[in-house]
Amino acid sequence: MPVSVVIGAQWGDEGKGKVVDLLAPSMDIVARYQGGANAGHTIKWGDETFVLHLIPSGIFHEGTACVIGNGVVIDPKALMDEIRQIEALGYPVAGRLKISHNAHLIMPYHKALDEAKERWRDAEAIGTTGRGIGPAYVDKFARSGIRVVDLLDRDGLRKKLTAAIEEKNDILSAIYGSERLDVDAIVDEYVEFDQQIDPYVTDTSAFLNDALAEGKSILAEGAQGALLDVDHGTYPYVTSSHPTSGGACTGLGIPPTAIDRIIGIVKAYSTRVGNGPFPTELEDETGERLRAEGHEFGATTGRPRRCGWLDLVALNYTSRLNGFTELAVTKLDVMSGLPELKVCTAYEIDGKTTERFPTDLRTLDRARPVYETLPGFSGDLSEARDIADLPDAARDYLQFVSDRLKVPITVIGTGPKREETLVAS
Ligand code: GDP
Ligand code: IMO
Ligand code: MG
């Protein structure tokens, strides 16, 4: 069966964009299934760098079609901007991009609510990207969302949008003390999206299932990471969707039986942006060094990412949740030069050692990492053309991770560029 899924195995920013871009030439279709413009997927080639937020990371390969599935929440303004930027670079989007008619839209009031609620949470703020993701999914599940298909009916849209803005204005002003939004200005602006978005709108579930029937290959591109999953992540410090492999089926309208390859993307160390538990976080020189060497600043918000050692307790958990059939380990080069490498293999909680990831926050907050220490390696890994060219200690580190997770490593990142990647033969 020809569906592969790429999933962030940690808290996002593992290098999914780079791996999807690498695999895209061998795929007929690349499809995003959840999240929205909270994602920032970086692709680097030659002297070019592009950060994709909504459009799948297959867009720079002209033979690959791209799909934004029903599970994604779409900010029409962000989408049209991104399309224009990609076309300005000389890559055609029209005719190659298909957007689900059932995907929900992010409206200005979702962003205003995201911002207001974060302010209201104060010390308990999640540290969201401010892209309106949570409030848009709330409306979807409350069955009061506005979908892509609604954009194609101007009169209907005017009515729905006016009612929605009036309701949200009451919430914004009465509960959060925020300014009311201008109903007419928003309605006038958004009814104009019909002509711009119409050429892309498709029943993408039917499109994908037809493609499967023709034996075509599909790569489902996850956004965020498994530990940010709304059900299985470090709730409430999560995003509002399902980045995990099950989300690919509901977010695209394809059956689970169509999936035969689940690639977990693992950064060689750990990062997290935003608030919430992070047992292996390093608030010392090593953490600073990882941030500086790894350029660990958010691709969407520019915020510094929190950095720490690799956490195999968390990774065993996300491997189990997703059913990883293989792993891509990125940013191995960033660890070069560290005298020793620590890997968390267990947690100590209230004096007891466990290898099981606690899924309730109060327990997780008390978890202290238990480390095993491996020798460090040095040198410029981006020069390696084959896994055999890597320093012995780098290969030993990868072997240790693969053995403990019981999943083979098939891709290794040795630098940010497309060509700085080693693929197991
Ligand atoms: P994504 O959200 O999972 O697609 O990841 P991001 O793009 O947010 O963050 C990953 C960052 O690491 C980007 O700046 C990438 O260019 C960079 N990157 C990806 N793989 C590697 C690698 O193997 N080595 C290095 N040094 N950088 C990498
Ligand atoms: P990619 O796809 C890293 C984090 C935010 C915050 C939490 C909730 O680039 O890996 P949200 O705006 O989704 O309501 O924020 O989730 N977050 C991400 N962290 N990478 C991402 O995406 C993220 N998308 C959201 O920082 O902690
Ligand atoms: Mg990112």
Looking at residue 283, which CATH number applies to its domain?
3.90.170.10
Question: Are 412 and 282 in the same domain?
Answer: yes
Beta bridge partners of 307: 271
Quote the Cα angle for 76-80-83, to 5°. Answer: 140
Q: What is the pLDDT of residue 288?
A: 97
Structural domains of the chain, count: 3
Query: What is the rounded CA–CA span in Å between residue 383 and residue 387?
Result: 11
Question: Which ligand gives the minimal distance to the CA of 16?
Answer: 1
What is the distance in A from the centroid of ligand 2 to the CA of 283?
A: 21
pLDDT tens digits along 146-156 = 999 999 999 99
Q: Which residue in 21, 28, 41, 139 is the catalytic one?
A: 41
Does pLDDT of 346 surpass 60?
Answer: yes
> Are 87 and 212 part of one and the same domain?
yes
Q: Give the atom of ligand 1 at the shortest distance from the alpha carbon of 20.
A: 4
Q: Which atom of ligand 2 is nearest to the CA of 300?
A: 9
Q: From the CB of 42, is ligand 1 less than 6 Å away?
A: yes
In sequence order, the 6+-apart residues with CB closer than 8 A to the CB of 208 are 29, 31, 67, 69, 218, 252, 253, 254
The overall average pLDDT reported for the chain is 97
Q: Is the pLDDT of residue 181 over 60?
A: yes
In this prediction, residues 95-121 reach a mean pLDDT of 98
**Separation of alpha carbons 71 and 10, rounded Å:** 20
Q: Considering 13, 75, 139, 311, which one is annotated as catalytic?
A: 13
Out of 18, 20, 23, 303, give the residue to mutate to test ligand 1, the one with the largest number of ligand atoms within 8 Å of its CB. Answer: 18
* Residue 26 pLDDT class (50, 70, 90 cuts): very high
Q: Are residues 165 and 215 in the same domain?
A: no
Query: How many CB atoms sit inside 10 A of residue 266's CB?
Result: 30
Say whether 49 sits in a helix, a strand or coil.
Answer: strand
Which residue, of 211, 232, 262, is where some domain finishes? Answer: 262
**295 a catalytic residue:** no
Whether residue 13 has its Cβ less than 6 Å from ligand 1: yes
Spacing of C-alpha 19 from chain mean position = 12
Is the same domain home to 336 and 419? yes
Confidence of residue 261 (pLDDT cuts 50, 70, 90): very high
pLDDT at 1 over 80: no
- Does residue 319 share a domain with residue 242? no
Ligand 1 atom closest to the CA of 44, numbered from 1: 16
**Ligand 1 pocket, residue 10 CB under 6 Å:** no
pTM metric for this prediction: 0.97
Write out pLDDT tens, residues 49-105. Answer: 999 999 999 999 999 999 999 999 999 999 999 999 999 999 999 999 999 999 999
Name 369's Cβ contacts closer than 8 Å, sequence gap at least 6: 279, 280, 309, 311, 313, 344, 346, 347, 348
Residue 90 Cα to ligand 3 midpoint, Å, equals: 24
Task: Please identify, among 140, 171, 197, the residue that sits at the C-terminal boundary of a domain.
Answer: 197
Domain match, 61 and 93 both: yes
pLDDT in tens, 356-408: 999 999 999 999 999 999 999 999 999 899 999 999 999 999 999 999 999 99
Final residue in a domain of this structure, among 234, 262, 290: 262
Tell me the one-letter amino acid at 78. Answer: A
Instruction: Quote the domain boundaries for residue 386.
Output: 266-423
- CA of 300 from ligand 3 middle (Å) equals 7
Can you give the CATH number for the domain in which 231 is found?
A: 3.40.440.10
Residues 366 and 393 in one domain: yes
pLDDT computed for residue 425 by the predictor = 77
Q: What is the pLDDT, as a whole number, of residue 300?
A: 82
Q: What integer is the mean pLDDT of 172-180?
A: 96
pLDDT tens for each residue of 310-331 = 999 999 999 999 999 999 999 9
| pLDDT 10s digits, 11-23 | 999 999 999 999 9
pLDDT of residue 301: 84
Residue 133 Cβ inside 6 Å of ligand 2? The answer reads: yes
Same domain, 208 and 66: yes
- The closest of 183, 158, 180 to 169, measured between CA atoms, is 180
What is the number of the ligand closest to the CA of 22? 1
CATH number of domain containing 114: 1.10.300.10
Rounded to whole angstroms, the Cα distance separating 10 from 227 reads 6
Ligand 2 pocket, residue 129 CB under 6 Å: yes
Asked whether the predicted pLDDT for residue 180 surpasses 80, the reply is yes
Name the pLDDT band for 299 (thresholds 50, 70, 90): confident
Torsion angles phi and psi, residue 3, rounded to 5: -105, 125
CA–centroid distance, residue 416 to ligand 1 (Å): 6
123 lies in the same domain as 95 = no
Q: Which residues of 88-121 are buried (b: 16+ CB within 10 A; e: fewer)?
A: eeeeebeebbbbbbbbbbbbbbbbbbbbbbbeee
The residues that bridge with 68 in the sheet, in sequence order, are 32, 99
> If 0-12 CB within 10 Å is exposed, 13-18 middle and 19+ buried, where does residue 123 land?
exposed
Q: Which ligand is nearest to the CA of 39?
A: 2
Please name the residue ranges forming H helices in 70-131: 76-88, 108-121
270 in contact with ligand 2, CB cutoff 6 A: no
Contact 128, 110 (CB under 8 A): no
40 shares a domain with 56: yes
* Residue 265 backbone class (left: φ over 0; alpha: ψ -120 to 50; beta: rest): beta
* Tokens, residue 281: 């976080």
Give the residue among 223, 318, 222 at the shortest CA–CA distance from 270.
318
Residues 117 and 79 in one domain: no
Q: What is the share, in percent, of the chain residues with pLDDT greater than 70? A: 100
Based on the domain organization, do 256 and 274 belong to the same domain? no
How far is the C-alpha of 276 from the C-alpha of 291, rounded, in Å?
Answer: 18
Q: Is the CB of 274 under 6 A from ligand 1?
A: no
Based on the residue annotation, tell me whether 21 is a catalytic residue of this protein. Answer: no
Query: Measured from the CB, is residue 73 less than 6 Å from ligand 2?
Result: no
